[in-house]
Structure 1
Amino acid sequence: MTEPVLKVKNLKKYFSIKKSFIDTLKGTPQKIVHAVDGINFEIYPQQVFALVGESGCGKSTTGKLIVKLLEPTDGKIYLRGQDVTDIKTKEEVLEYRRKVQMIFQDPFSSLNPRFRIFDVLEEPLLIHGIGETKAEREELIYKALEMVKIIPPEDYIGRNPHMLSGGQRQRVAIARALILNPTFIVADEPVSMLDVSIRAEILELMKDLKEKMGVTYLYITHDLSTARYFADYIAVMYLGRIVEMGPAKVVIDNPIHPYTRALLAAVPEPIPERRNIIKEIPIKGEVPSAANIPPGCRFHPRCLYAEKGLCDTKYPQLVEYEHNHWAECHLIGKY
């Protein structure tokens, strides 16, 4: 059986909210934000695993935990079977960062505005000691730019990020992530800041690079339409938990959690034959605060199918509804 490239087990991240002076005097209990609250998944070689959900559901926090920008409160992270949860030394972190890279949402703020494009791409090479001479590093930089279709590279290496278009900046950000030849990339909403006209180009580029370089992606997005196009496997997050998970085609064509159905109903469907597959499922109210998690099922305050005495009191478990298709709901098959 193929070993997963990345595995997370019962991963949690909690943040304490600083109490005000008045709250301290009153003895108000400390509030905790349950950003990520016990999630489990595995990502296999050259797979695109999409983490989907509304803003504030914990998907970006999950990505930052995986690249070690945040330390988990509890749980384990494994890279190719090795426990990397508690790596601390500079050498261990450097080795890990060479294998696991991140593409950020905003290509402008993630690139140093004072750096030329050459400097942006040379910096990771210098940090990791790759390329003994400037000529060797220059060759690697030219190859990286050519890979992401910034052609000819010599026309761009002397420019600053503000001199490029949004799509070109994101291509440079992708080149920076790939120049270290990583095995795993966390792509945090890599196309959400770009014009609709070039989103498909960037996703197609990332697909091609996956095939050429054998890279594996965690693709974080709120947009199910791009997840349908780009991902092999989809996990839907809500308030720090994964509520549905399965192969992309299965989750898109046969969603079984009310939240997933509501998300899909909000996506415009261009194919008339498919418009009756997912009927609109309205959901009530706003996402509750992660510092004030509802009892029972987290989705029950907004769910039209919630049963009193069950959904509002008993916590559901993530169960396998059909082969490799998981959902966290008490009422699977009843609606």
Structure 2
Amino acid sequence: MAEPILKVVNLKKYFPIRRGLLASLRGESEKYVRAVDGVSFEVHKQEVFALVGESGCGKTTTGKLVMKLLEPTEGKIYLEGQDVTELKTKEEIKAYRRKVQMIFQDPFSSMNPRFRIYDVLEEPLLIHGIGETRAEREELIYKALEMVKIVPPEDYVHRFPHMLSGGQRQRVAIARALILNPTFIVADEPVSMLDVSIRAEILELMKELKEKMGVTYLYITHDLSTARYFADWIAVMYLGRIVEMGPAKEVIDNPLHPYTRALLAAVPEPIPERKDIIKEVPIKGEVPSAVNIPPGCRFHPRCLYFKKGLCDVEHPKLVEHEHNHWVECHLVGKI
């Protein structure tokens, strides 16, 4: 198999909690929010790798670490064999950002409301010195808008973000990410703020652009139904750890971790003839605090298959249970 375009090795990100005066006087040890706690995965060229999980599981923090919007506490990130964690100078980080772009969850808040669409798309070109004249930049902007099916572009370039619909704003956000011709894109919940009717359109557009431009996606989502449609690989995160990972079809059709099964059970399935159907989700309680991680398996306080003396004592390892299907569970294959 070819070398991965992105390789993440034992990535960790701990956020310190500010202690009060009394806690400092009592000599209490400093506490940390363990947002990402030992994550490893690989993404190959033109793949869509999905990070899936509940809010607060660490998937967005992982995306920000890949983007170098945050610095890791520990671990390594490699893009095309280059150690990203060793990039320190402004010039190195600027060159990296040209190759790695991000599509944010809320397209409206990610744009300057005082900028017209032309300015939104021209800004990255100016920062990276692309296009010597305004005419050259204008041509690139028009091409980018046509690529995301904002046509005719001349009708939209002089509008402000609030004058566009949610779907149109997200298309502009995608155009802004693609205008630098990146090799890797972090897509953080790119359709969660959109109407259900246009989610499939945006995902289909991103698929087309992947084939046309050869880009690779890290797709961050809480929605397994869109991950099944869009992703090639799925990694399920829980409390800062990957608990299951494998090809999308394999993870969806043959979930091995109890948490993955709970996420799948929570996906609504429209059955017109059974309006009274209520699905029981195989999970209990709330997500524990990322400050006080439970001992043993992190999922054991909510697991219906919890085995005392094992799950609450020993932390399971992420092992390859089947070919390319990795699971972090003591009871895998026994449930």
TM-score by length of 2: 0.96
State the percentage of identical aligned residues. 83
Deviation, 1:251, is: 0.2
In 2, the alpha carbon distance for the partners of 1:267 and 1:144 equals 35
Residues 1:323 and 1:271: Cα distance change in structure 2 (over 3 Å) = farther
Q: Kindly state the Cα deviation for residue 111 of structure 1 after the two structures are TM-superposed.
A: 0.5
Correspondence for 2:100:
100
2:235 equivalent to 1:235: yes
Unaligned runs of 5+ in 2: 273-278
Partners of 2:175 and 2:322 lie apart in 1 by 39
Deviation at 1:271, TM superposition (A): 7.9
Aligned to 2:219: 219
- Any idea what SS the aligned residue of 1:182 has? coil
One-letter amino acid of the counterpart of residue 219, structure 2 = Y
Does 2:15 align with 1:15? yes
Q: For residues 150 and 310 of structure 2, what CA distance do their matches in structure 1 show? A: 56
* Deviations 1:250-296 (CA, angstroms, capped at 9, x unpaired): 00000000000000001123589xxxxxx844211100010000000
- 1:158-197 CA-to-partner distances (Å, cap 9, x unmatched) read 0110111111110000000000000000000000011111
Q: Residues 262 and 280 of structure 1 are in contact (CA less than 8 Å); yes or no, is this contact kept in structure 2?
A: no
Q: What amino acid is the match of 2:119?
A: D
The residue aligned with 2:276 is: none
Partners of 2:175 and 2:311 in 1: CA distance: 47
Q: How does 1:42-81 map to 2 (within 5 A)?
A: 42-81=42-81
Q: What's the CA shift string for 1:88-137, capped at 9, x where partnerless? A: 11111111000000000000000010101000000000000000000000
Distance 1:312 1:53 in 2: 22
Q: Helix, strand or coil: the match of 1:85?
A: helix
Residues 261 and 282 of structure 2 are in contact (CA less than 8 Å); yes or no, is this contact kept in structure 1?
Answer: no
Q: Structure 1 residue 21: deviation in Å?
A: 2.0
**Does the alignment pair 1:312 with 2:317?**
no
Q: Does 1:131 align with 2:131?
A: yes
8 Å CA contact retained: 2:59, 2:237: yes
RMSD over aligned CA atoms reads: 1.1
TM-score normalised to the size of structure 1?
Answer: 0.96
- Distance in 1, matches of 2:266 and 2:236, equals 15
Unaligned runs of 5+ in 1: 273-278
Number of aligned positions between the proteins: 329
Preserved contact between residue 45 and residue 216 of structure 2 (Cα < 8 Å): yes
Render the CA deviation track for 1:31-80: whole Å, top value 9, x for unaligned. Answer: 11110001110000100000000000000000000000000000000001
Distance 1:271 1:179 in 2: 42
Return the letter of the residue paired with 1:192.
Answer: S
Q: Does the 8 Å CA contact 1:146/1:152 hold for their aligned counterparts?
A: yes
